[in-house]
Chain A
Amino acid sequence: MTAGVDTTQTHDGPAAPADPARQSIVRSLLRTPRGLLTVGFLVVLFVASLLAPVVAPHDPLHQELKHALEGPSGQYWLGTDGLGRDVLSRLLYGGRSSLLGVLEGVVAHVIVAVPLGIAAGYLGGWTDRIITRVVDIVMSVPTIVILLALLTMFDRNISAAMITLGALSAAGTTRMIRAAALSVRGELFVSAAELLGLSRPQILFRHILPRCRGVIIVQVSLFAAVALGIQTGLTYLSLGPPPPAPTWGGMVADAASSVSNDPWLLVPAGGLIGITVLCFGILGDTVRDITAQSSTASAGLRAPRRRPEPATGAPEEGALLSVRELSVTFRTPSGDRDVLTSVSFDVQPGETLGLVGESGSGKTVTARAVLGLLENNGAVAHGSARFDGVDLLALPRKRWAALRGKRIALISQEPMVALDPSFTVGAQLREVVRAHDHSGRAEAHERVLELLRLVELPDPEEIVKQYPFQISGGMAQRVAIALALAGRPDLLVADEPTTALDVTVQAEILDLLRRLQQETGMAIVLVTHDWGVVADSCSRVAVMYAGQVVERADVEDVFRHPSHPYTRALMATSPEHAERGRPIAAIAGQVPAPGTWPTGCRFAARCPLMTEACRREPVAMVDLGEGRDSRCLMATSILEGTSA
């Protein structure tokens, strides 16, 4: 389970109030300063060019030779050219043909690329194969040569050239749209719609096309930038409308011929072309950012890292790891959120502590905080984590890094993620072994084989030559365990190590961890949501709910007499305890999201034993003796009730 980091919308994590994916792209675009600026500029440019006959201060063709090559003035805002024509007016009129050309190109581009791309991506099969082949061929055609030929044939008809350009360069965009449509087609909601009897056009227009919108806008605006560049290039070469008709390219050409007498003349035309191209480009980038952002809402946010206030509680006698009053805060777009409050537990050498809870309980965040591996937007606000007498949370990064991997190791839910697919298993293990042991090649190789034998992989000599994708998930987890063991750790943090594995493989991995623990005497913190795994592997348990530890106990006690109503309810939700085909004792409602925690007991809303007192103020841990604590006002009576 991807418990914990609720700021990034994990599985079953509480939902964020607003979702950027569903907001219209235009609205999100206008909300960013970049977007507002570029869209604003382009709109003004388009409108001004369109209204050139109205807004232009002069006739673009009117020559006033006595004012030739003048700089900006009250009468000629941007100066005049070599024939004394008003530069501003010529730019505005020239904009009409330039932007019209771009528009024609874009329309042709869209008409060709969108249907082809969507058809190839959504329909697949032969349609896809034919379209992809044609696209490949078209991409190899030298577009500019064709344009030049076309302009000679059609007597400087720039519209024909731009439409051709739009159609020919649609090949690349077709590919992008095809890829987008292909990935949407793989989404389950499309399968569901098909099964519900929606016709293909209905699915196309309601589900596929809207999800490809982002890609289309990005590609089209980037094409617009290119089209404008080519269009001005063609008119610069006087392949467009013949003089004296104003064109942006033609104006650059005029300016270039008199650049020695009047360098200024280059500025208005060149600048405007540059800015417009830039605007199209930025527009594309911004839309891409907006569409990509929807999946990573808190990307780029950083929580301030400062030394946390140390905790006051004393560590347990002889504990290897002693976490006290650990609080963690995440920075989210809607403000700072506490995700852990005052988490305390101890791990004795050689024992296995189970950190149990549902998603959103904070169990993974706890493990990551202890390892110093919180994401960038998270930080420890308070508390201490004493490992062998040293407070990890107060350590400088470098010393922490030295401990991590050596004395404290981690294995995670996805073993494949821990392994780099581009190196063999042997190479990765060797690298880690050499970093820890500072040993030579041959020695390191021996140690690698020893580690692989330790994790009971058959035929280690063969395994070292394999790449991670060539081995099964269970074997990959064994390799990940071997990696973790390379530094001979005293503490292994195992974050849902068997959740992604098949149940028979899970049993083998748990057996392996138990055997390794007996042989090496290392302590294990086992993060899990599965009570069966707890019963199988743990000696002590800390149950977590909504960012707090609600119960700590020995494993036998917690199963025999759970002292917190949540522990009891969570155990009962297993179908194991229900009669076949009858309702399971489910807990109504769901884990409250960080930021919506009540003042009093956080489980109160779902608790059958809730009283007024539970809601009044935060509930403290109650010491029940014999190493048990419970965060419940009724804990003592619950225990008496069950033991009676």
Chain B
Amino acid sequence: MTAQHVKGPGDAAALHVQDLVVDYPLGRRRTRRAVDGVSLTVPAGSTLGVVGESGSGKSTIAKAVLGMAPVTSGSITYGDRGLLGLPSGRRPQEIQVVFQDPYSSLNPTKTIGYTLEEPLRAQEHRTGVALGRAGRQARVHEMLERVGLPASTAGRYPSQFSGGQRQRISIARALMLDPELVICDEAVSALDLSIQAQILNLLLELQHDLGVSLLFISHDLGVVDHIAQQVLVLYRGRVMETGDSAAIHARPAHPYTRALVMSAPVQDPGRQRERRERRRAETPVAGMRAPLGDSCPFAHRCALATELCSRERPQLRTLADGRAVACHHAELEPAETLLTKETR
């Protein structure tokens, strides 16, 4: 990638998702609501982290943006273009994706070079501007080196690479057409700790060099906290809390976010013991999932829950520091020892 490919934040667009609702069909005339009125913005050149447990709808949001989920209502726009209802051939190539599974992401019967060259060929076909064989291969080699792999990788097959290397290749493929926004759907979750660190570093470096924005989806609040400026916490398809990542991680206001932060064990037996005691004092309830009606989706597990919570669904409201929280009882507590990162 050369200097003229670098995009400044000025010419890239922002992704806006407004009141998104996604229902998956469950047999005859029944549906399951996976995403329930979610709004989010990924500003150009920045990273929004989406955090949630399994079934929270975080991957469905990614699918909806990519045109792979049955959107019931809401809007998704990129810059001034609406993305909903676009036929697959007309989707903006500025948005690309890196999936979780590094194995299913690459066609095992094609060489890495072929896989990376393919989008260029499709682009030539579309635009009529030919790079030529040599030009395409030069781009492939350049991109491989960008993601930290030797150019000779191009002649080999996916099975000859480990999970971490395949994830690098998937990232290279996503970058082939100079995207402005890359959606990382649990992109580091299947990787070992040391490899995860390598890939996170690569993503940060690419963002710095190329100015791409990231929609970074993960179940791991620690990882999201590291890579994202803004974070959105999802639970059962609804936004629980959203705002500045550092602030939320240090002082989670929503009881669910608190539970997430407190449940992640830290690498210090002494500190972990204290955190465990605090967590147990705070979240005594391990109730069964109640059906979602007008209640707060977290009410059945929440230590602060009152009768109001099961009667009325809390709306997102903005707190003093600018974050938004969907909880009747959430207040900003004074800064305290919840900090999980070492003092900065």
Interface set of A (CB-CB < 8 Å, partner B): 1, 9, 11-19, 21-22, 187-189, 191-200, 202, 206-207, 210-211, 294, 358-359, 456, 458-459, 472-473, 502-508, 510-511, 529-536, 555-556, 559, 569-571, 573-588, 590-591
Q: How far is the CB of B85 from chain A (nearest CB, A)?
A: 15
Interface set of B (CB-CB < 8 Å, partner A): 53-54, 66, 68, 88-89, 91, 93, 95-97, 99, 101, 103-110, 115, 118-119, 122-123, 125-126, 157-165, 170, 173-174, 176-177, 190-198, 200-201, 204-205, 219-223, 225-227, 229, 245-246, 259-260, 262-270, 272, 276, 279-280, 286-289, 340-342, 344
CB < 8 Å neighbour of B264 from A532, A534, A581, A591: A532
| Residues A573 and B196 in contact, CB atoms below 8 Å apart | yes
Once A188-B101, A536-B272, A590-B164 are accepted as A-B contacts, the answer to whether A197 and B159 lie under 8 Å apart by CB is no
Can you spell out 27 A-B residue pairs with CB atoms less than 8 angstroms apart? A11-B103, A15-B162, A19-B158, A19-B160, A187-B104, A188-B104, A189-B106, A191-B99, A193-B118, A196-B119, A197-B123, A198-B122, A202-B125, A206-B118, A210-B109, A358-B195, A504-B260, A533-B265, A534-B267, A559-B268, A570-B194, A573-B193, A574-B197, A576-B341, A581-B227, A587-B197, A590-B162
- Residues of B close to A195: CB separation below 8 A: 66, 91, 93, 95-97
Cα A508 to Cα B190 in complex, Å, equals: 22
Cα A341 to Cα B297 in complex, Å, equals: 51
Cα A559 to Cα B267 in complex, Å, equals: 7
Q: How far is the CB of B41 from chain A (nearest CB, A)?
A: 19
Given A192-B99, A194-B88, 7 new contacts (CB under 8 A): A12-B164, A21-B109, A191-B68, A359-B163, A504-B260, A505-B53, A531-B193
Cα A1 to Cα B288 in complex, Å, equals: 28
Shortest Cβ-Cβ A-B pairs, 3 listed: A532-B265, A19-B159, A575-B226
CB < 8 Å neighbour of A21 from B108, B125, B279: B108
Q: How far is the CB of A296 from chain B (nearest CB, A)?
A: 13
Cα A587 to Cα B201 in complex, Å, equals: 11
Once A188-B105, A503-B260, A573-B197 are accepted as A-B contacts, the answer to whether A197 and B267 lie under 8 Å apart by CB is no
CB < 8 Å neighbour of A189 from B107, B177, B219: B107
Cα A581 to Cα B231 in complex, Å, equals: 13
Q: How far is the CB of A17 from chain B (nearest CB, A)?
A: 7
| Residues B195 and A574 in contact, CB atoms below 8 Å apart | no
- Residues of A close to B268: CB separation below 8 A: 535, 559
- Residues of A close to B123: CB separation below 8 A: 197
- Residues of B close to A459: CB separation below 8 A: 288
- Residues of A close to B196: CB separation below 8 A: 573
Once A15-B160, A358-B193 are accepted as A-B contacts, the answer to whether A196 and B88 lie under 8 Å apart by CB is no
CB < 8 Å neighbour of A585 from B119, B197, B260, B286: B197
Cα A322 to Cα B204 in complex, Å, equals: 45
| Residues B192 and A536 in contact, CB atoms below 8 Å apart | no
- Residues of A close to B88: CB separation below 8 A: 194, 200
- Residues of A close to B160: CB separation below 8 A: 15-17, 19
Cα A579 to Cα B158 in complex, Å, equals: 33
Once A195-B97, A198-B118 are accepted as A-B contacts, the answer to whether A569 and B222 lie under 8 Å apart by CB is no
| Residues A502 and B122 in contact, CB atoms below 8 Å apart | no
**Which residue of chain B lies nearest to A10 when distances are taken between CB atoms in the complex?**
B163
- Residues of B close to A559: CB separation below 8 A: 267-269
